[in-house]
Structure 1
């Protein structure tokens, strides 16, 4: 078998296959991929709504209105609540149910990660991580340059 060439297609196929596994794992929880990301952002405590929007828009490359729908979905499902103490930029925090759900998501991610990456030698995994981080930085720089 020949060694594949590193291309966007190869990276994309790995991303979409992994994402499909995650989406299948969280489907019984009624979560979207965006909501999974938001739960992870909120796992360590309350976060300003604008900061959540920035994190998710920069990760998923979606607009802020889509992120506000993600947050609204978490609020409607009782997984998060608003801290109205700062009405200008309210903080969003997980409810007890949200924390329990986020722990289930983390367990699913850990299981998928162990199955997919567990037997890859550490030096190879480190190299891939460095390369993909560099590709992501370059793509983000190109996106920033072309949107300005």
Structure 2
């Protein structure tokens, strides 16, 4: 008697699969950030300041981080204060501007994270990444719409 080899089935994308992937990848990044004395939320806020086309006010940065992380505004303000205390962001009139140290931190984290990202994302076919990107963009859009109705 012969038996068919069982092959594992690929899970359909759902909230749990998405969350597991997110937290696994975030865990890698947070390990790198911890070596630099930084948190995930600090990195998100600092990146928003560094990558902006124009200087940002604290309220601008708060709105960007809140949109990305859905975090409590008080926590985001505390994060911006931490970045000022560490001299990674400095006031310039009504704006908060990244310092050279802030830019260097992001560059160092990116350099250390690149090998991990390459191993995590490498070898995934472009068409699979495109399909995943489309699905994740749609899920994000729908979840943001649901959140907007809940908080209106």
How far residue 146 of structure 1 moved from its aligned partner, in angstroms, is: 1.5
| 1:64-79 equivalence runs, <5 A | 64-79=73-88
Range with greater deviation from structure 2 (97-106 or 107-116) = 107-116
The aligned residue for residue 129 of structure 1 is 133
User: Taking structure 2 as the reference length, what is the TM-score of the superposition?
Assistant: 0.89
How far residue 41 of structure 1 moved from its aligned partner, in angstroms, is: 0.7
Range with greater deviation from structure 2 (92-101 or 37-46) = 37-46
Distance in 2 (alpha carbons) for counterparts of 1:122 and 1:93: 36
Distance in 2 (alpha carbons) for counterparts of 1:65 and 1:16: 23
Distance in 2 (alpha carbons) for counterparts of 1:3 and 1:144: 32
Where does structure 1 lack aligned partners over 5 or more consecutive residues?
Answer: 85-89
How far residue 106 of structure 1 moved from its aligned partner, in angstroms, is: 2.2
| 1:1-148 equivalence runs, <5 A | 1-44=8-51, 46-84=55-93, 90-148=94-152
1:52/1:140 Cα in 2 relative to 1: closer, same or farther (>3 Å)? Answer: same
Distance in 2 (alpha carbons) for counterparts of 1:11 and 1:24: 20
Distance in 2 (alpha carbons) for counterparts of 1:26 and 1:13: 20
Larger radius of gyration: 2
How far residue 62 of structure 1 moved from its aligned partner, in angstroms, is: 1.1
Distance in 2 (alpha carbons) for counterparts of 1:5 and 1:124: 13
Q: Secondary structure at the match of 1:47?
A: coil
Root-mean-square deviation (CA), in Å? 1.2
Where does structure 2 lack aligned partners over 5 or more consecutive residues?
Answer: 1-7
The aligned residue for residue 4 of structure 2 is none
Q: Secondary structure at the match of 2:51?
A: coil
